[in-house]
Structure 1
Amino acid sequence: MVEIGYNHRHGRSFCIDRPDGTDNWLMLIVKTPVHFRIDGREIRTTSHSFIIYRPNTPQYYYPASNEYFDDWMHFYPDEDEQRMMSELNIPLDRPVEIGDITEMSSMIRSMCFEHYSGNQYRTNSIDLYFRLLMFKISEKLRKKEAFPNRSEGIYSEKLLWIRKSIYRWPSRDYSIDDMAKELSLSRSRFQHLYTETFGVSVNRDVITSRLNKAAELLKTTDLSVKDVGINVGYGNTSYFVKAFGNFYGLTPLQYRQAEMK
């Protein structure tokens, strides 16, 4: 590690122009829109992007808005770290829009703290953070490939977490207003983005997760229909029985009896 910086702010006139690059590697985590010049071609990236420059690669970039924020790191990866980046298919010398850089930026913050601290094992800690950072970048790139048509990628990981939560904890009271607030979106925009991302509405996912769990409880436990309904978030038994029948074509008791045959 040579130098590292977290959440640095620059004005509109900021511009980096290094025709011969640097003698070390440079990683930028970009938090605002930026113009890059790569092989003579202008590329404008959105916020939440990153680039890793190899030594002696020309570096030219400047803000695409009134302010520019980034995290940065000049470093010398050893052979094992370079091999790891290659095996993880980490892109080099070109900007990549990654959707959500929150975790990555948090790791840079921790590395920055270690770098300027007097901690005995700061070098070891930084090395571990660097490896974790590369793994996280690879994970995010894979998720981006899995949803290539997804717009507004900045929300992708939070949407994935919300959907996983719905299926992991079906009994919770899922409020659309609360979920939208978590992503700083309006209610209608959240619902549209959720459906656009997963091909199903958030309400449908909530119902599916609850009734799937109800079916599992009916098969594997002796809980009464009322208690099964309560366990999956239905306080009204009549409403639960109706919802279950619409979904499975059988009442909860009929479903249990059919599964026991």
Structure 2
Amino acid sequence: MFTCLQGGYNTRHPRTFFNSRPQGSDHFLLLLVRTQTAFCIDGHSFAAESGSIVLIQPNTPYRYHGTGSEYSDDWLSFLCPDPEAFRNSGIDFHMSIPIGNPDMSSSYIRQILLEKSCISEEYRNQNIHMLFCVLFNNLRLACMKKARDRLCSPYFSKMQNLRLSLASEPYREYTPALLAGPMGISASYFQHLYTEFFHISLRSDLIRMRIEYAKGLLQNTDMSIEDIAEASGYSSKIHFYRQFRRIAGTTPSVYRSSFYQ
């Protein structure tokens, strides 16, 4: 059964509110944001509009804060009986999910909290579990709609082809304005579409591509690490080392040596 640990309904915080968990939490976290919110989850930054839901898995670093005059949300921390099955159930994690009827989802969260704190114990656990199931079924429908909208976009195919081109030459200098120009859209809208289509920002994706390119050079050439940094698009060796370690979890030299043991 789904188990509710804690939660809040229509909670409000001043504009200085900032929640950061560098090591993550030992439970799942659901946030229904009522104000525009900036998130960074496992190194991936994105914005969530009011009326969106964000789901965070256990042991995942995250931080978030409001971008307006205040921050407001509904939230639930919870456990589930089969975390692996839940992760593969068709619900998107670590990204913004627009909800068609946020008031309905909010009412489920409110009822879960009422069941937890005010209702007699006789059917409490069963009721909470069923409310979670209804909430997540609606969330799956929202994820399906989001996926359909993405595929129907006139820009999706162009973005896919562009992303393949970026991956083949990640060492080049790219800017949103440069990439958006041939599509006839603004740089800001390009970045919005890129994140919506691929669930990662252009900047984060380019960094990931450069590190993957560097990994290939470390594995398959005898180039020096300094030369690999430059060949991967980095003008600073220190910057390359920092980003490589953050993404690969180890240094370039240790990564290379692991292939020759």
Cα contact 1:57–1:93 (8 A) shared by 2: no
Cα contact 2:46–2:95 (8 A) shared by 1: no
Residue matched to 2:124: 122
Q: Give the C-alpha shift of residue 82 in structure 1.
A: 5.0
Question: Aligned ranges for residues 189-228 of structure 1 at < 5 Å?
Answer: none
Q: Match of 2:59, SS?
A: coil
**Distance in 1 between the 2:147 and 2:123 partners?**
37
Could you report, residue by residue, the CA deviation over 1:71-100 in whole angstroms, capped at 9, with x for unpaired residues?
111111001x7525523x101123333343
Cα contact 2:97–2:143 (8 A) shared by 1: no
Residue matched to 2:162: none
Residue matched to 1:137: 139
Cα contact 1:51–1:93 (8 A) shared by 2: yes
How does the TM-score come out when normalised to structure 2? 0.52
Residue matched to 1:183: none
Residue matched to 2:172: none
Residue matched to 2:41: 38
Aligned-CA RMSD value:
2.0
**Distance in 2 between the 1:70 and 1:117 partners?**
21
How does the TM-score come out when normalised to structure 1? 0.52
**Distance in 1 between the 2:146 and 2:79 partners?**
28
Match of 1:56 among 59, 62, 65: 59
Q: Give the C-alpha shift of residue 25 in structure 1.
A: 1.1
Could you report, residue by residue, the CA deviation over 1:100-136 in whole angstroms, capped at 9, with x for unpaired residues?
3221111001111101114221111000000111101
**Distance in 1 between the 2:104 and 2:119 partners?**
24
Q: Taking structure 1 as reference, are residues 41 and 142 closer, same or farther at Cα in structure 2, changes over 3 Å only?
A: closer
Higher-Rg member (1/2): 1
Match of 2:31 among 17, 21, 28: 28
Letter in 1 for 2:135: L
Q: Match of 1:2, SS?
A: strand
Letter in 1 for 2:137: F
Long gaps (5+) in structure 2: 154-261
Residue matched to 1:164: none
Could you report, residue by residue, the CA deviation over 1:139-175 in whole angstroms, capped at 9, with x for unpaired residues?
122233344479xxxxxxxxxxxxxxxxxxxxxxxxx
Cα contact 1:31–1:68 (8 A) shared by 2: yes
Q: Taking structure 1 as reference, are residues 2 and 39 closer, same or farther at Cα in structure 2, changes over 3 Å only?
A: closer
Letter in 2 for 1:9: R
Q: How many residues align?
A: 148
Could you report, residue by residue, the CA deviation over 1:203-223 in whole angstroms, capped at 9, with x for unpaired residues?
xxxxxxxxxxxxxxxxxxxxx
Pairing 1:5–2:2 present: no
Residue matched to 1:93: 94
Question: Aligned ranges for residues 160-199 of structure 1 at < 5 Å?
Answer: none
Residue matched to 2:248: none
Letter in 2 for 1:103: M
Q: Match of 2:65, SS?
A: strand
Q: Taking structure 1 as reference, are residues 98 and 135 closer, same or farther at Cα in structure 2, changes over 3 Å only?
A: same
Residue matched to 1:112: 113
Residue matched to 1:153: none
Q: Give the C-alpha shift of residue 41 in structure 1.
A: 4.1
Q: Give the C-alpha shift of residue 8 in structure 1.
A: 0.7
Long gaps (5+) in structure 1: 151-261
Q: Taking structure 1 as reference, are residues 85 and 133 closer, same or farther at Cα in structure 2, changes over 3 Å only?
A: farther
Letter in 2 for 1:15: F
Identity of matched residues, %: 32
Letter in 2 for 1:130: F
